[in-house]
Amino acid sequence: MTKEWILPKGHLSYWLRQLRNSASLIAPLRVDGDIVFKSLENIHEVSLDNPALLPSPKEFLFPQQESLFWIEDGTKVRQLYNNEKRFVFGVRSCDISALRLLDRFYLEGYEDPYYSLRRKNTVFISIVCNNPEPTCFCIGLGTGPYLEKGFDIQLTDLGDRYFVQAGNAKAFRIIRQWNFLFNKPKRIDYEDQYEVFLSSKARFQKRISLENVRKYILAGKVKDSFWGAVTERCFECGGCVYECPLCTCFTVTDRVYSFGIDRVRLWDTCLFKGFTRMAGGVLPNEKRILRTRRWYYHKLIHYPDLLGGFGCVGCGRCTVTCPGKIDMATIAIKLRDLQDNG
Ligand code: SF4
Ligand code: SF4
């Protein structure tokens, strides 16, 4: 169940200071002309009306590199769990939608203890996007710009105040702790919030249905020549995978030092030839076209089958990142055009 409040904008810095005093606070900050998620020291550096930032907030639950445990004296194993309590402020709705699928991947069936602990200790405070970027297409996927559920705390900017929604017990407790900062919403606040949502919705330049693309692929209509042309444009840089809030590929390696061994988990990508290397050196996906096609099949066919949602939330990061211009939106639009032209 969701509960609502109003936070006057004049109270935001005080609230952020209080959050920072009770746990680590990460927010989008201006650093040397760029905006990046970083631990917050100066409240005035927070920047809220941003495009989707790189890297995505998946970094806070599934870091780019993470020590899993140490082996000392040949046998002693010391698990390295990160128990830090954190608030991540200023996250976009699409990234919150991505967390729902990451949760299913990392917590259902076998529960990944590293992800699980970080997830429990992290509260995400998201912001409804009032000004979607030309690269955004969450609107066609139901993953933004406003969420009905799945968030911890969701803010909508109403000009002089924020409409605040708490989506779970953890979030209610946080609001209650500083309840003197929050007011009860009036009817006009609900109306203004709806208007902000409608005006944001109207600003989307891209409207893409991945469902139609999925059906087209499943009907066997997409020829190898299409995937071949896509593959030709791929530099195998891995940028799309690393920036995607939903890509979960990783590898595990040992770093050997004179004083012990560090077992580390690192981001990896199924677009790289060695990712599926088997014992004996067999490479099932040695041909590049197999890897390219696999990435799209994974996101458009297997994710919905296995996790109940597309492996894409329409954040547009791959559009910004891909030097070959073969990002998810471009491919979906090309397939839609092929479909429309019979
Ligand atoms: S596939 Fe591209 S647009 Fe979709 S979630 Fe990943 S990075 Fe964002
Ligand atoms: S960002 Fe583009 S070029 Fe780089 S691996 Fe992804 S699809 Fe290939």
Contact 291, 271 (CB under 8 A): yes
- The reported pLDDT for the residue numbered 286 is 84
Higher pLDDT, 56 or 264: 264
Higher pLDDT, 262 or 32: 262
Q: Per-residue pLDDT for 175 more than 80? A: yes
Using the atom order of ligand 2, give the atom closest to the CA of residue 292: 7
Whether residue 88 has its Cβ less than 6 Å from ligand 2: no
Domain finish residue from 153, 169, 202: 202
Buried b (16+ CB within 10 A) or exposed e, 68-84: eebeeeeeeeeeeeeee
- The reported pLDDT for the residue numbered 50 is 76
Using the mean position of ligand 1's atoms as its centre, give its distance from the Cα of residue 295 in Å. Answer: 11
3-state secondary structure of 70: strand
Using the atom order of ligand 1, give the atom closest to the CA of residue 299: 1
Residues 175 and 230 in one domain: no
Residues 217 and 185 in one domain: no
- The reported pLDDT for the residue numbered 43 is 85
What's the pLDDT band for 292 if we cut at 50, 70, 90? very high
Domain finish residue from 152, 177, 202: 202
Q: Whose CA is nearest to atom 5 of ligand 1?
A: 312
Mean pLDDT of 102-116: 94
How many other CB atoms are there within 10 angstroms of residue 241's CB atom?
A: 21
Question: Whose CA is closest to 206, among 340, 113, 118, 329?
Answer: 329
Domain finish residue from 185, 202, 219: 202
Half-sphere exposure of 33 (CA within 13 A, CB side): 0
Using the mean position of ligand 1's atoms as its centre, give its distance from the Cα of residue 318 in Å. Answer: 6
Q: Per-residue pLDDT for 1 more than 80? A: no
Whether residue 14 has its Cβ less than 6 Å from ligand 2: no
Using the mean position of ligand 2's atoms as its centre, give its distance from the Cα of residue 240 in Å. Answer: 5
Q: What is the pLDDT of residues 278-288, one digit of tens each?
A: 888 888 888 99
Whether residue 239 has its Cβ less than 6 Å from ligand 2: yes
Residues 229 and 165 in one domain: no
- The reported pLDDT for the residue numbered 40 is 86
CA–CA dist 158, 53 (Å, integer): 22
Residues 232 and 147 in one domain: no
Residues 84 and 221 in one domain: no
Residues 80 and 116 in one domain: yes
- Least distant ligand from the CA of 234: 2
Residue span of the structural domain in which 163 resides: 3-202
Residue 179 amino acid letter: N
Residues 179 and 107 in one domain: yes
CA–CA dist 61, 58 (Å, integer): 5
Residues 151 and 34 in one domain: yes
Using the atom order of ligand 1, give the atom closest to the CA of residue 316: 3
Integer CA distances (angstroms), 148 to 45, 108, 145, in order: 29, 23, 10
Number of domains in the chain: 2
- Least distant ligand from the CA of 288: 2
Q: What is the pLDDT of residues 112-144, one digit of tens each?
A: 999 999 999 999 999 999 999 999 999 999 999
Helices within the chain (DSSP H only): 12-22, 93-107, 113-120, 169-177, 187-202, 210-218, 224-232, 239-243, 288-297, 303-307, 317-321, 328-340
Longest dimension (CA), the chain: 67
Residues 184 and 217 in one domain: no
Whether residue 238 has its Cβ less than 6 Å from ligand 2: yes
How many other CB atoms are there within 10 angstroms of residue 252's CB atom?
A: 11
Using the mean position of ligand 1's atoms as its centre, give its distance from the Cα of residue 98 in Å. Answer: 10
- The reported pLDDT for the residue numbered 277 is 87
